[in-house]
Structures are given as C-alpha cells and as structure tokens.
Amino acid sequence: MARKFARDAPLNVALFSGNYCYTVDGPALALNRLVPFLEREGHRVLVFSPTSATPAFEPAGTLVSAPSLPLPGRCEYRLSLGLPRSLRTRLEAFRPDVFHLATPDPLGLRALRLARGWGVPAIASFHTRFDTYPRYYGLPVLEKYFTKYMRWFYRQCSQVYVPSQSMQDVLRQERFSDDIRIWSRGVDAALFNESRRDTRWRRSLGIDDDAVLVAFVGRLVVEKGLELLARTIERVAALGIRQRCLIVGDGPARGWFEKRLPRAHFTGFLSGDELARAYASADVLVNPSDTETFGNVTLEAMASGLPVVCADATGSRSLVRHGVTGFLARPGDAESFAVFLSSLIHDPSLRRSFGGAAVLASRSYDWDVVMSGLVEGYREAIERASLAAALRRPRQARPQAQPQEFAPALVDGNRWPS
C-alpha cells in the first residue's frame, strides 16, 4: 500500500544512528537538534539507535532501541547488530517517506537494504571519517578496506550530506557519491558568546588575570590529535612563552593525557552554561584534529570570541579564515601549531582582532536555515523516487492521442511487506 505524497505534506522520517544519546559527540548533538526541528515543523520522526542503561543526555523525540554490543577497544561506543523483525514491523507500521542514515554500521546497512527493497529513498549524512581511525590504533593497513566499504555504502544512497565545503570537495574527489550536498551546522549565539567570560571562575582555577589561557574542547580520544596538542604545548613552553592550558572534555585517553600535560587544568565533561563559560573564559582555542568533518567546537569557540588555531584539514578549513579569524597549521606538525599559537599568545591586539572577526563569521550559521535546507532535500529525494516508480509501472493501453499521466504519489509501485 502506498502513502500518497503532496509537496507540502508532513513527512514520516525514519532516522538511523549508531549513537543517538548514549555518548556525547558532535553527530549525536546535531541529530538531537534535527529531530525537535522536524517535529516543530509538523513532521513525524522515529529514531532507531543502540542505547545504554546510562544515556549521556535525554534523547529528543521517539527513540527505538536497536540491539548492540560494546565496541571492542572503545567500550563507550556500541556496535549495532542490525534491524531485527520486531523493529522492522514497527518501521513498517510507521510507513516512512524517507530513510535518513547517519552511520554506515550494521544498522545503517540493514536500513539501506530495506529502503531499497521498499522503494523508499535513503539519504545519508556523513559525520565521521571512520575509515581514518585504524591509523590511530596501529592498524593502518585496514584503512583502504574501510574506505572501500564506506564508498560502496554511500554510493547507494540518493543523497549524501556533509557538514562543510571542504568535506564535500574531498568526498567528490574520492567518488563517494554523485550527489553530495552540504548540511552545515549552526551555533546557539544566545548560549555561546563573549558575555559568558568569568574572571572569578578563571581565578578559582588558579589562573592569573593576565595569563593567556589556551583551551582544547572535545572527546579525549587519540584521534582528536591529543599527542600533537601535547607536543605543541611543550614546544611553546620550551620557547619560554608563558601560558596556561585548559582541557574541557572526557574520554578513555584522559588518564594518559593528564600525565602528558601535568600542568593543564582538566574540567571533565561540561555542557550548557558551564561549557559556554569555559569557552568565553579562555583566550585561544586549539583544535589539532585532522579528521573533523565540520568542527562544532571550533564554531562554538568562534561565537565565544576566541581566535583559533586548527589543522589545515577538512572541517576547519571551511570554518577558519587563515589570518582573519585564526590560523590553519600544517596537520600533524607541532612546530607549525606552536608558531601560530605563540604569535597569538604574544599579541593581545591580534587576539582581539581575530576574536571579533570570529564572532562575525559565526553569525552566518543559523540552525533553522540549516535544518530547512535538509528538509527540502528530503522532499526532492521523495519526488525523484515517486517519479522513478511511476516510470517503472506498466503503461495501460490508451488511445494514442491521450498523453500518459503520472500521479505525484510516493511510489505507487512501492511494495510494503504484508
């Protein structure tokens, strides 16, 4: 049975994620902004994801727990085990207009196959270069196989959404899809802004008013460039340049990282007002990661008035204007990072100039505009699937003078399981 589709009708969106709320990361936070937006606009959303008994935050919308196991070596994440019959039955009753796949894991793969079998369009959002992770865990030989699988997965999707122009350029070059679009990210300017700076909070950490506070914000995992950050801070200190280091975040590498940077102040995980205060109370943000597809922390720091020093790589390259809002350092090169960071530590006027330009640049990232563009992409994918299904239907014999008629319905040829 087909669900009729009108151009402005509310949509039924089935969303599949490898991590929706059990661990805090950029993709999970973006998806938990998307779902409330869709529901405010009158759409229905059903989310399928692995879950845990102790979620990191309250999930938005209706979440259906998918079976999973702890990921070997990274037990804070979970590996999905696919889409069992009970979940497929619930999905069938929901009658989705579009599948949104946020992770190319077993759950995403099963959903992709189901969407193709039902004739429902599947779009994908590309959040993480999972294929680069083996290089950080001593298994670089596996990277080419991960990349091959991911290319195969995304090429079967109607549309692939990436968060930045630089990521779009890379995936186009690597032939991940013929239809790669930008689904950017927004920033909450009411939360992240310069007015959150708190001198008393800095003093409570033992940081003098005239000290330059260098911040890192993010998950404490090796693929975020923690070793590079440690070498950068050590290089700056070896030059006799006075600074303090603030580490905001938590993760499996925290114990090791605290030993690498014994003079840094570690806050642990922060969110909301506490996170906004930490950003605004720092003076410079360093983001050494070269695996970012966007860089939420970079944008939040910019909105908070901080100049930034980031790797000249995907994500950061689209956010940072080199020499205007911050610096783009050579990926993996501690000397390059140290040179740029030192120049900002030495020059208060340069920090102010870059910070002011960063605030202005951040204002172009509006969440509602970003989300509305994605919904338009959903509708376009549905219309294309509807037309493709109409073209596949056998034509009934008609007098030759009468033109063939195609109804703008969602896949009348769609075969929902009975």
**Do 144 and 251 belong to one domain?**
no
Q: What pLDDT score does 366 carry?
A: 87
Q: Are residues 69 and 170 in the same domain?
A: yes
Instruction: Check which CATH number belongs to the domain holding 282 and give it.
Output: 3.40.50.2000
Considering the domain architecture, whether residues 264 and 310 belong to the same structural domain is answered as yes
Q: Is the pTM of this model over 0.85?
A: no
Residues 40, 156: one domain?
Answer: yes
- Asked whether residue 27 falls in the same domain as residue 170, the answer is yes
Domain that holds residue 98: 12-186+367-392
The number of distinct structural domains making up the chain is: 2
In a domain, 377, yes or no: yes
Q: How much is the pLDDT for 406?
A: 33
On whether both 143 and 222 belong to a single domain, the answer is no
Q: For position 135, what pLDDT does the model report?
A: 75
Question: What's the pLDDT at 3?
Answer: 53
Q: Which tens digits make up the pLDDT trace of 193-250?
A: 999 999 999 999 999 999 999 999 999 999 899 999 999 999 999 999 999 999 999 9
pLDDT the model gives residue 291:
83
Judge if 205 and 245 occupy the same domain. Answer: yes
Q: Taking a C-beta distance cutoff of 8 angstroms, is the pair 123, 98 a contact?
A: yes
Which pLDDT score is estimated for 275? Answer: 97
> 400 in a domain, yes or no?
no
- Strand pairing partners for 162? 182
pLDDT computed for residue 74 by the predictor: 76
* 213 found inside a domain: yes
Question: Other CB atoms closer than 10 Å to residue 230's CB: what's the count?
Answer: 20
Could you tell me whether strands 180-182 and 122-125 are parallel, antiparallel, or unpaired per DSSP bridges?
Answer: unpaired
Q: Which residues of the chain have pLDDT under 70?
A: 1-7, 131, 394-418
CB-based contact 316:165 (threshold 8 Å): no
DSSP annotation of 136 reads G
Write the pLDDT tens digit of every residue in 323-363: 999 999 999 999 999 999 999 999 999 999 999 999 999 99
Q: Is 206 part of any domain?
A: yes
Looking at the structure, do residues 242 and 324 belong to the same domain, yes or no?
yes
